[in-house]
Amino acid sequence: MRVAVIGGGYGGLASAARLAKLGHEVALYEAGPALGGALRPILSEDGPWPSPVSGVLLPAVIKDLFRKSGRTLDRELDLEHRELIREHRFEDRTTLNVHGGSRGAQLEELGQEWVDYVESFSETWEVLRTTYAEVPWDRAHPDKRLRRLLTSRETLAKRAKRTFKDHRLRIIAEYGAAATGQNPRYTPAWTGLEVYLEQRFGMWDVVGGPEALAASLADRMQTRNVAVHLGTPVQDVVVRDNAAVAVALDGGEADADAVVVATDPRRFPALERLTTQTLPAIPPAITWIELDAPLDLPPEVVLHGGAMITLRHTGTHLTAIAHAAIGEDLVTALRRHRIDLRGRIVRQYDRTPPQTVEMWNGSPLGISWAGPRTVFDRPGPTTPFKNLYAAGAHATPGAGLPFVGLSAALVAQVIGPA
């Protein structure tokens, strides 16, 4: 089959690699000048900055992608286990560390209440994995256990409030949602399961950074003979008799037997009905800072009190990510948390949320939760259109590298071998 994949981010690359290995003739259309989407370095007038994307959960998903598309991961890239996932610094000057891949370390640092909370997601993950994340689901007739989980009205904020007396543990439980631009009061409780994945499978860093992952997948496009069209924005999907038949480009139409949308489908007028019930999750404001020397900080530190700021740190680069207006100078905000950058900044680059949306040609954070219904409104792997499939952050099972990786595996499953 001729398959057109729209979008050269992780979702599009993973879909294209898998489908090409299954014997399809794959064309990948990327609006920007290079592949990788949010994994790519950020280009500014005074030089590149590292992608703000950092660790990877569920390493098995990346391993599966590499294995099923030609060469195993260990022949191309190294993953390093991150023992201390992140440090949370609170307004009262206390600190809590989240360690990965170890119940014992979490018990020692965060206590029994925390490990019990984490354990409560074990069944959630089992249901999601076996009926939704690893096998294509039927949203009209979901498995009974899945339906019960997905239609529950309990929100993440409610679950965290009911579970923890210590407000700091509540904040940590809600962190995964808050860090991806979601409001925990509209986010279903089951989405809090990232804490389980962190404890059970650990957090991993790709050696060389997300850029190395993007570069390796770009190479795989060549080895799998995917026809890559850079600087080629798809203007729309051509739909006839409710079936996707081509993609519309500036210079005309490119016919396809199947189309995989691995971008925000709201960009395509013909697909309007896929998106009328949802809104995109707005990316954060980001400041990149180059320092005169590395800081003595863990790779990820989250500052609470006022607007939450996530700091990601590699070598002399510091990336500050905030989903709400900080309301003061960043250097002053960091000083309140004992991080003193005065006189140490070599260069700095600031992007507002609208600028990051422009930079990435959309939101790499997928859609915004507005209650339990949202999961049914999110497309993927199939859509109401024949021969149209959805992968990436805007599709089932959602944003974040592990889930985007799973979305591509789901699309490859439903399309099947050539």
Closest approach, Cβ 252 to ligand FAD, in A, equals 15
> How many residues appear in the chain?
418
Q: Which of 12, 142, 280, 372 binds ligand FAD (CB under 6 A)?
A: 12
Indicate whether 280 belongs to the interface with ligand FAD (CB under 6 A): no
- The answer to whether the CB of 96 falls within 8 A of the CB of 168 is yes
Indicate whether 100 belongs to the interface with ligand FAD (CB under 6 A): no
Closest approach, Cβ 126 to ligand FAD, in A, equals 21
Q: Which amino acid is at 373?
A: R
The DSSP bridge partners found for residue 286 are 321, 351
163/183 with CB nearer ligand FAD: 183
Which of 19-27, 37-45, 148-156, 211-219 is the region at the interface with ligand FAD (rule: CB under 6 A)?
Answer: 37-45
Q: Which of 283, 372, 379, 397 binds ligand FAD (CB under 6 A)?
A: 283
Q: Exposure string (b/e) for 53-75, b if CB count within 10 Å is 16 or more?
A: bbbbbbbebbebbbebbbeebee
Indicate whether 11 belongs to the interface with ligand FAD (CB under 6 A): yes
Indicate whether 7 belongs to the interface with ligand FAD (CB under 6 A): yes
- In the structure encoding, which two tokens stand for residue 362, read together? 């959309």
Q: What SS3 class is residue 225?
A: coil
Closest approach, Cβ 391 to ligand FAD, in A, equals 7
Closest approach, Cβ 395 to ligand FAD, in A, equals 8
Site string for ligand FAD, 372-411 (x = CB under 6 A): --------------------xx-----xxx--x-------
52/142 with CB nearer ligand FAD: 52
Q: Which of 55, 142, 176, 397 binds ligand FAD (CB under 6 A)?
A: 55
User: Please, which residues have CB within 8 angstroms of residue 241's CB and are 6 or more apart in sequence?
Assistant: none
CA atoms within 13 A on the CB side of 107: 6
- The answer to whether the CB of 204 falls within 8 A of the CB of 130 is no
The DSSP bridge partners found for residue 43 are 48
Closest approach, Cβ 162 to ligand FAD, in A, equals 28
- The answer to whether the CB of 314 falls within 8 A of the CB of 298 is no
372/392 with CB nearer ligand FAD: 392
**What is the C-alpha to C-alpha distance for residues 238 and 158, in angstroms, rounded to an integer?**
43
CA atoms within 13 A on the CB side of 160: 26
- In the structure encoding, which two tokens stand for residue 45, read together? 């007038």
Closest approach, Cβ 49 to ligand FAD, in A, equals 12
184/364 with CB nearer ligand FAD: 364
Q: Which of 21, 26, 54, 278 binds ligand FAD (CB under 6 A)?
A: 54
Positions 323 through 352 that interact with ligand FAD (CB under 6 A): none
Q: How many CB atoms lie within 10 A of CB 126?
A: 11
31/415 with CB nearer ligand FAD: 31
The DSSP bridge partners found for residue 409 are none
Site residue total, ligand FAD (CB under 6 A): 38
Output Rg (C-alpha) for the chain, integer angstroms: 21
Closest approach, Cβ 273 to ligand FAD, in A, equals 18
Read out DSSP for 275-310?
TTT--BPPPPEEEEEEESS--S--SEEEE-SSS-EE
**What is the C-alpha to C-alpha distance for residues 194 and 173, in angstroms, rounded to an integer?**
9
Q: Which of 6, 171, 217, 357 binds ligand FAD (CB under 6 A)?
A: 6
Q: What SS3 class is residue 236?
A: strand
Indicate whether 265 belongs to the interface with ligand FAD (CB under 6 A): no
Q: Which amino acid is at 263?
A: T
* Pure H helices in 231-387: 330-335, 353-360, 374-377
Q: Which residue is nearest to ligand FAD (CB)?
A: 9
Positions 211 through 250 that interact with ligand FAD (CB under 6 A): 233-234
Closest approach, Cβ 398 to ligand FAD, in A, equals 8
Indicate whether 202 belongs to the interface with ligand FAD (CB under 6 A): no
Closest approach, Cβ 15 to ligand FAD, in A, equals 9
Q: How many CB atoms lie within 10 A of CB 332?
A: 11
**What is the C-alpha to C-alpha distance for residues 142 and 292, in angstroms, rounded to an integer?**
54
Indicate whether 133 belongs to the interface with ligand FAD (CB under 6 A): no
Indicate whether 176 belongs to the interface with ligand FAD (CB under 6 A): no
Q: Which of 19, 42, 52, 172 binds ligand FAD (CB under 6 A)?
A: 52
Binding site for ligand FAD (CB under 6 A): 6-12, 29-32, 37-39, 52-56, 233-234, 262-263, 267, 283-284, 321, 360-362, 364-365, 392-393, 399-401, 404
